[in-house]
Structure 1
Amino acid sequence: MVTTVDLDTAQVRAFVYAAQELHFGRAAGRLAISQQALSKRIARLESLLGTELFERRGHGVDLTEAGRRFLEPARRALAAADDAVAAMVSTGRPLRVDVWGHLYAPMRTLAQVAGQTQHPERKLELELGHGRDLPTVMTALLHGDIDAAFGRVHPPLPPGLTHHLVRLEPVDAVLSADHPLAAEPTLRPEQLRTSVLWAPGALSRLDFLRRFADHFDVRERAGSVNLGLAHFLTEVAEHPRRFSLLPADVPLPEIPGLRFVPLVDPTPLYAWSLLWRTGNVHPGLSGLAAACAAEAGRSRWLEYDPSRDWLPEQPKGDAVVG
């Protein structure tokens, strides 16, 4: 027999904020209530659930094992409650969309479809954010801070999130004009094995570049600090053995001493996806997804041929094979 417990949203919200901060005072400040009121809400929730959710220690708190198990379902329940309220009272607010992978200019693709989305009898309003990376954006989605996001998605995704492939973009090699291969009209990825892959950060956080290097046996890898595309490309141009990868349509600054060479046999493809939280009822979300699908069809963004193209992971049901 399953026991039904009716949760109080205010108590669940107090728990989630305290779990994020691991400090009752800071969580209370975010909720604009007293620390005593927050402590009471959490105590009532613990009493209702019949277990302690926090271990109080020193100047902060830690989650108990039960608290860790409860955290993700609590976040989803809170997001669902917020969505239910939004469906009734906030249907006119802008769709909050975030992007990541800024060096690859995700906004150029999103901007191409955003103006075509229609919200009953008017253009859809977007409110744009600037997430740092996929984990940051996923957290914002699960917390209900944003409605959707756009960038490269790679597994694993936490429960409660879903994504739809929007675009498969060919990738070019960018290298110094002094590189031994700079005069080639095209390059095969395997020809770059003895070059140095230059990355805008740690490869452990750059899934596409890391998988490319692993797959094509590029053993020399080095990273920099991401200070923007112009700075990054200048660093590539300064060394005759460096190369990196950029989607073919990225708007490029004028940097002397660079060559951009198409990659073939196979052509690496960078996968752009729309990501959102399951159950989000904002009326603009379906419009944005439909506009992405329509533009992908017009511009043939999802064509993929495994005999000539390379993807770190195989597309599932979205791409056109042929």
Structure 2
Amino acid sequence: MDLDLAQVRAFVRTAEELHFGRAAGTLAVSQQALSKRIARLESLLGTELFLRGGTGVRLTEAGRRFLAPARQTLAAADAAVATVIGKEHPLRVDVWGHLYAPMRTLARVAGRAGELALGHGRDLPSVTRALLHGDIDAAFGRVHPPLPAGLVHRLVRLEPVDAVLSADHPLAAEPALRPDQLRGSVLWAPGALDRLDFLHGFADRFGIRNRAAGVNLGLPHFLAEVAQDPRRFSLVPADVPLPRVPGLRSVPLVDPTPLYAWSLLWRSGNGHPSLTGLAAACAEEAGRRRWLEYDPSRDWLPEPPAI
């Protein structure tokens, strides 16, 4: 049985979009042409891959089984073409979680991974879509489950987190704080808390009931909002260079120390030669700087690390 890659690509893009019109648009073909490709693929395989109905498009059980190997097939085909025609592009890497400055960590390894083309993803869902569509090769930021099938991530760094609070906060003069000492304070978030899994998990774990959100206009603006109210606090990785904000205090958290997890994320089957180099450089730097030390009796993570 010989697979037609155009048909496989039509299936994969439709499985990602779960909408025939949007999938056709991303492939620059008509919806009719895309539907014909999928129908021919289903005929070849002898089974339906999608359920089509009034509630939208859904994968069948056969479609779900076929998706991951179909993605790997396309990735291998793209890599094979690139080796022949000599048009290997720089490794395209997006970063996200900009308030916590992911470039600090990535910059320490970027020079050892070949030529990189850096971009900026808005959040994890937008980055995963770009990876699955083949628009980028890898991404760097905080990964949390569930991830779509076909993506792989490797933990790179576990970074201690400090509390930032107003200099007028009752606890501002403490040399260190336990997370539960902040229960009477207001957790200030740079957006809706249900989309910020680390802050949301911290608040739930340590009983922070008072929560409020501002608008993410960058770290200086966000920290200025924290400093304006003696009841507020937020969390920032300890290694982030803080801007000069009057009336702001940074205090280490202990017993336990929250850790912010940074990961490298890519699509399985991506054969870009620089991807292996970037992953190896991350592992080397993590070992040299002891970035992956984790003691559950001393540290806290929203979910245990898979190192």
Counterpart residue type for residue 6 of structure 2: A
Secondary structure, aligned partner of 2:148? coil
- Local SS of the residue matching 1:251: coil
The one-character-per-residue Cα deviations of 1:17-70 (angstroms, maximum 9, x if unpaired) are: 44527244x54444334555434323322332345536387xx97346468637
The one-letter code of the counterpart of 2:151 is: L
The residue number in structure 2 matching 1:120 is none
Maintained 8 Å contact 2:256/2:297: yes
Residue of structure 1 aligned with 2:67, choices 72, 80, 83: 72
- Structure 2 residue 52 is the aligned partner of structure 1 residue 55: yes
Contact 1:172/1:246 (8 A) holds in 2: yes
State yes or no: 1:22 paired with 2:19: yes
Instruction: Decide whether aligned partners of structure 1 residues 92 and 79 sit closer, same or farther in structure 2, where only a CA change above 3 A counts.
Output: closer
Q: Find 1:310's aligned residue among 290, 300, 304.
A: 300
- 1:3-42 equivalences in 2 (<5 Å): 5-19=1-15, 20=17, 22-24=19-21, 27-42=23-38
Structure 2 residue 168 is matched with structure 1 residue 178: yes
1:236-315 mapped onto 2 (5 Å cutoff): 236-315=226-305
CA distance in 1, matches of 2:256, 2:96: 26
> Of 211, 220, 223, which aligns to 1:221?
211
List runs of 5+ in structure 1 lacking aligned partners. Answer: 118-123
Alignment of 1:62-101 (within 5 A): 62-63=57-58, 65=60, 69=64, 72-73=67-68, 74-89=70-85, 92-101=88-97
Is 1:144 aligned with 2:134? yes
RMSD: 2.6
Query: Does structure 2 conserve the Cα–Cα contact (< 8 Å) formed by 1:79 and 1:143?
Result: no
1:132 Cα deviation (Å)?
1.6
Sequence identity (%)? 74
**Residues 171 and 248, structure 1, Cα contact 8 Å, conserved in 2:** yes
Contact 1:86/1:282 (8 A) holds in 2 = no
**Aligned partners of 1:56, 1:75: CA distance in 2, in Å?**
25
Distance 2:195 2:38 in 1: 36
Q: 1:83 to 1:203 in 2, by over 3 A?
A: farther
Q: CA deviation at 1:246?
A: 0.2
Please give the secondary structure, in 1, of the residue aligned with 2:108.
helix
Tell me if structure 2 keeps the 8 A contact 1:87–1:282: no
TM-score, normalised with respect to structure 2 = 0.88
SS at match of 1:129: strand
Out of 155, 165, 185, the position equivalent to 2:155 is 165
Question: 1:295–1:23: structure 2 CA closer, same or farther, 3 Å change rule?
Answer: same
Cα deviation per residue 1:229-286 (whole Å; 9 max; x = unaligned)?
1221121111111100000111222221211111112211111111122221111011
Q: C-alpha separation between the residues in 1 aligned to 2:268 and 2:26?
A: 25
User: TM-score, with normalisation over the residues of structure 1?
Assistant: 0.84
> Does the 8 A contact of 2:71 with 2:150 survive in 1?
no
Give yes or no for contact 2:20–2:34 (8 Å, CA) kept in 1. no
Query: Which AA in structure 1 matches 2:157?
Result: R
Cα offset, 1:90, TM superposition: 5.0
Alpha-carbon distance between aligned partners in 2 of 1:39 and 1:293, rounded to the nearest angstrom: 44
* Equivalent-residue separation in structure 2 for 1:51 and 1:169 (angstroms): 48
Which one of the candidate residues 103, 113, 123 is aligned to 2:99? 103
Amino acid at match of 1:9: L
Pair 1:105–1:223, CA change in 2 (3 A)? same
Report the Cα distance in structure 2 between the residues aligned to 1:49 and 1:138, rounded to whole angstroms: 28
How far, CA to CA, are the matches of 2:122 and 2:115 in structure 1?
Answer: 23
Do the aligned residues in 1 keep the contact of 2:91 with 2:116 (CA within 8 Å)? yes
